[in-house]
């Protein structure tokens, strides 16, 4: 149980385009989803916390207009990287939890490469 799926797993696109990444909880309803970014050989850095039906809370230094997060349902959150540039290339990982009394379950990440 507690499966989190991300799509796509890998995307390459040209500089200036926008890219949408989906995070789905497959067998549970997630009141909270988290988005992380991981650069090569580095740790996971939390970007934002998303609660269903409300605006995401962004960590310091993360541009909310650059990284748009939508959590419109209890099983789906999306991260849109707007006007992506090469420096946005990274591994983006989401996690989801049912409620604050449950641990986070992680997806398998999305490798984003901006040319």
Site residues (vs other proteins, CB under 8 A): 4, 6, 34, 41-46, 49, 93, 95, 97, 100-109, 111
Burial of 87 (0-12, 13-18, 19+ CB in 10 A): exposed
Considering the complex, state which of residue 6 and residue 77 has its C-beta at the smaller distance from other proteins.
6
Considering the complex, state which of residue 17 and residue 49 has its C-beta at the smaller distance from other proteins.
49
Strand partners, 93: 36
Q: Determine contact, residues 91/37, Cβ cutoff 8 Å.
A: yes
Considering the complex, state which of residue 44 and residue 76 has its C-beta at the smaller distance from other proteins.
44
Q: How far is the CB of 90 from other proteins (least distance, A)?
A: 13
Q: How far is the CB of 16 from other proteins (least distance, A)?
A: 27
- For the chain, helix, strand, coil in percent to 5 are 5, 50, 45
């Amino acid at each position: 149980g507690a499966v989190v799926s991300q799509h796509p797993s890998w995307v390459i696109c040209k500089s200036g385009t926008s890219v949408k990444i989906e995070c789905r909880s497959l067998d549970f309803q997630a009141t909270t989803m988290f988005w992380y970014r991981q650069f090569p050989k580095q740790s996971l850095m939390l970007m934002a916390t998303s609660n269903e039906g409300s605006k995401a809370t962004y960590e310091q230094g993360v541009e909310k207009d650059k990284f748009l997060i939508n959590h419109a349902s209890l099983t789906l959150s999306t991260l849109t990287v707007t006007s992506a540039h090469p420096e946005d290339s990274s591994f983006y990982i989401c996690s989801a939890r049912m409620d604050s009394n449950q641990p986070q379950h992680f997806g398998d990440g999305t490798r984003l490469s901006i040319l």
